Structure 1
Amino acid sequence: MAQRLKRWESPRRQGRNWKGKGGSARRKQLKKQTQMLRRKLKQSRKALQNRSQDNQNQYKNQQWGRDINALPYFFCRILSNRLKIFLAITQIQKYLP
């Protein structure tokens, strides 16, 4: 004969596939939600880290560019003219007694 259940008992409690009395779907939802939030947090951290590395590289490139372009064209031209004059004077001094 079939076993009679009390009103607080559930047929799901019997057998080897007992999953508890309800709430398993909600538990799965919460687990999935926390998993997705963890994944998003991880991705945002990576994106933030990549952005900071890009900013550092960009800053280094700007510094490097500043070092190269430190002397304007007209200043280099003045220096080259003075160098030419200096070389001309040293060449003349070779021939002077």
Structure 2
Amino acid sequence: MAQHLKRWESPRRRGRNHKGRGGTARQRQYRKQQQQLRQRLKSAANDKSPQKGEVIPLLF
């Protein structure tokens, strides 16, 4: 049975107190995880910087 809405009402999700997932805390965790990965990659790149006279292999 469909529910009729007034013109000023917006459709609601079914169920009681439905809040869903993926809120701001989850976004913060994801951002922090990505930042840590970037830092790890950057430090790994600095550790493997070529020495004087060393040839860097190019990978395609």
TM-score w.r.t. length of structure 2: 0.52
Which fold has the larger relative contact order, with Cα–Cα distance below 8 Å and residues 6 or more apart in sequence?
Answer: 2
Give the residue type in structure 2 aligned to 1:21: R
- Is there any run of 5+ residues in structure 1 with no aligned partner, and where? 1-13, 66-97
Does 1:45 find its partner at 2:40? no
Which one has a bigger Cα radius of gyration? 1
TM-score w.r.t. length of structure 1: 0.35
Give the residue type in structure 1 aligned to 2:16: K
Q: Distance in 2 between matches of 1:37 and 1:23?
A: 22
Mapping 1:1-97, distance limit 5 Å: 16-17=9-10, 18-19=12-13, 21-24=16-19, 27=20, 30-57=22-49, 60-61=50-51, 64=52
- Is there any run of 5+ residues in structure 2 with no aligned partner, and where? 54-60
Runs of 4+ residues over 6 Å off in structure 1 = none
By percentage of residues, which structure has more helix? 1
Q: Percent identity?
A: 13
Indicate the residue corresponding to 1:80 in structure 2. none
